[in-house]
């Protein structure tokens, strides 16, 4: 039961919109009361009513080493003794930036910021500054944080200008964001043809993780880079979710595509408010104080978050990625077997330790298919049954799941049997 979470939620609603500090946490799309979490360790989280869950959200991706990894906690405790923020350059920031340039193909310069939103909004500003162009292209179903330029729905026609999908976003902003379809290079080419010389950049999640888990097909990312460069535009890979998650060098390594700019977050900060944008010397030299594109932040690169990031990346060895991939393969094979044996109308996708299930029998290649073909009711039934049985999934069909180093052995087996039981309930 969730008595304490229920009472905490009504108290929270009195002082915070929806009782939460980020909308998805309110469980609006799945219904019910969100458990208020008190602590977390490894693959487990524990709520205010004493319930224990095997966690596949991992604070939306960051906890790849498991919650409260001893090395991260120890290092941050020590760092705290030296103070939490100086607002001045530190050697720690150099170390983290060097770890990023070592790992990610085509990164020469890195700028640390505090959230994925800040990384993505800064990256498009740099692209606009570097090209002198105003328009950007994003993809339906991709999420790059809550900056105005990204809260845009597709216009009425395929080639019309975007329209705001949040009050408070102006038409003026929306008209500079164009919407394309993921895994559909023709939709991108058409936008360049309709807006010659006006598009500064295309920003894309290399693996869609905000509309379930949708990997790129048929060299889509390579084609995107080609079309961008043929039209004088930059390619931005938003690796806030995939960076250091799906491989040591992120999706850029998996798909062998080097963009002009990257956005990072989540794993990079090891669970602390830390993100970054990065890219080639040619593009990043536009950033102040070297260049004229302005971006700043009081707490950017603060020593505690940077310490967590350093320890996290240092612990993400090739062997750890192999173990994470093995856990992902085990889940994938288990679900494939359930689909075969029971004929469930479900499809799934996985890249490394990022995965997702669609309650649809369609071969999902883009966002519109998720909305049109998924059985949201059955997903919600499955979600709540898992929660009751102690498995904590993302509270939306439009999200992905994540694995940490503690999702192995009996913990993973326990989660798999809950998933099997919960599918049986959802399809009873
Ligand atoms: P933040 O501003 O939330 O740190 O990052 C924004 C962001 C940017 N790019 C990608 C690919 C992202 O997935 C995100 C944030 N992801 C969501 C969950 N899918 C965060 C959860 C939330 O909004 O509470």
DSSP secondary structure, 67-133, as one string = BT-HHHHHHHHHHHHT-S--SS--HHHHHHHHHHHHHSTT--EEEEESSHHHHHHHHHHHHHHHHT-
Local confidence band at 151 (pLDDT 50, 70, 90 cut-offs) = very high
8 A C-beta contact, residue 324 and residue 353? yes
* Sign of the alpha-carbon dihedral angle for 5, 395, 143, 161: negative
**Mean of pLDDT values over 49-57:** 98
Mean pLDDT of the chain: 96
pTM (predicted TM-score) = 0.97
pLDDT of residue 262 exceeding 60: yes
CA atoms of 316 and 405, how far apart (whole Å): 10
Catalytic one among 55, 176, 238, 260?
238
Token match 């090739």: residue? 318
Identify the residues whose C-beta falls under 6 Å from ligand 1.
22, 24, 60, 115-117, 120, 143-145, 205, 209-210, 238, 240-241, 265, 275, 399
**Mean of pLDDT values over 25-36:** 96
Collapsing DSSP to helix, strand or coil, 428 comes out as coil
User: What pLDDT sits at residue 33?
Assistant: 97
For a ligand 1 pocket test, name from 116, 239, 242, 393 the mutation site with the most ligand atoms within 8 angstroms of its C-beta.
116
**Mean of pLDDT values over 138-145:** 96
- Domains contained in the chain, CATH given: 3-64+317-426 (3.90.1150.10), 70-315 (3.40.640.10)
pLDDT of residue 43 exceeding 70: yes
8 A C-beta contact, residue 250 and residue 239? yes
8 A C-beta contact, residue 241 and residue 354? yes
CA atoms of 105 and 107, how far apart (whole Å): 6
8 A C-beta contact, residue 232 and residue 240? no
User: What pLDDT sits at residue 397?
Assistant: 96
Closest ligand 1 atom to residue 23 Cα is 24
pLDDT of residue 155 exceeding 80: no
Bridge partners of 153? 163
User: Residue 266 catalytic?
Assistant: yes
Whole-number Å distance, alpha carbon 60 to ligand 1 midpoint, is 8
């Amino acid at each position: 039961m969730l008595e304490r979470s229920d009472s905490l939620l009504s108290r929270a609603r009195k002082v915070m919109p929806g009782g939460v500090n980020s909308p998805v946490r309110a469980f609006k799309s799945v219904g019910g009361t969100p458990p208020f979490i008190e602590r977390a360790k490894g693959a487990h989280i524990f709520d205010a009513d004493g319930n224990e869950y095997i966690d596949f959200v991992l604070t939306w991706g960051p906890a790849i080493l498991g919650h409260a990894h001893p090395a991260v906690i120890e290092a941050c405790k020590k760092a705290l003794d030296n103070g939490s923020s100086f607002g001045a350059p530190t050697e720690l920031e150099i170390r983290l930036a060097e770890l990023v340039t070592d790992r990610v193909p085509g990164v020469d310069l890195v700028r640390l910021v505090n959230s994925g939103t800040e990384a993505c909004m800064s990256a498009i500003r740099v692209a606009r500054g570097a090209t002198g162009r105003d328009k950007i292209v994003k993809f339906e179903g991709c999420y790059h944080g809550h900056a105005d330029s990204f809260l845009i729905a597709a216009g009425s026609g395929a080639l019309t200008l975007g329209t705001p999908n949040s009050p408070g976003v102006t038409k003026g902003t929306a008209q500079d964001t164009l919407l394309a379809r993921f895994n559909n290079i023709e939709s991108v080419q058409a936008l360049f043809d309709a807006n010659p010389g006006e598009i500064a950049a295309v920003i894309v999640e290399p693996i869609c993780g905000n509309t379930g888990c949708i990997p790129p097909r048929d060299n889509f990312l390579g084609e995107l880079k080609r079309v961008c460069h043929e039209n004088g535009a930059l390619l931005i890979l938003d690796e806030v979710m995939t960076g250091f998650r799906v491989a040591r060098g992120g999706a850029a390594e998996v798909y062998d595509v080097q963009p002009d700019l990257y956005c990072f977050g989540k794993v990079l900060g090891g669970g602390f408010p830390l993100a970054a944008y990065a890219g080639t010397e040619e593009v990043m030299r536009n950033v102040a104080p070297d260049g004229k594109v302005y971006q700043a932040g009081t707490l950017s690169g603060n020593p505690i978050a940077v310490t967590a990031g350093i320890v996290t990346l240092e612990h993400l060895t090739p062997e750890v990625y192999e173990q994470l991939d093995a856990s992902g393969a085990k889940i994938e094979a288990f679900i494939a077997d359930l689909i075969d044996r029971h004929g469930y109308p479900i499809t799934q996708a996985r890249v490394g330790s990022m995965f997702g299930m669609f309650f649809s029998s369609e071969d999902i290649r883009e966002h519109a298919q998720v909305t049109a073909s998924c059985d949201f009711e059955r997903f919600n039934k499955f979600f709540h049954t898992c929660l009751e049985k102690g498995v904590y999934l993302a509270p939306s069909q439009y999200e992905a799941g994540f694995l940490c180093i503690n999702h192995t052995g009996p913990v993973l087996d326990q989660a798999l049997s809950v998933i099997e039981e919960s599918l049986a309930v959802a399809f009873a």
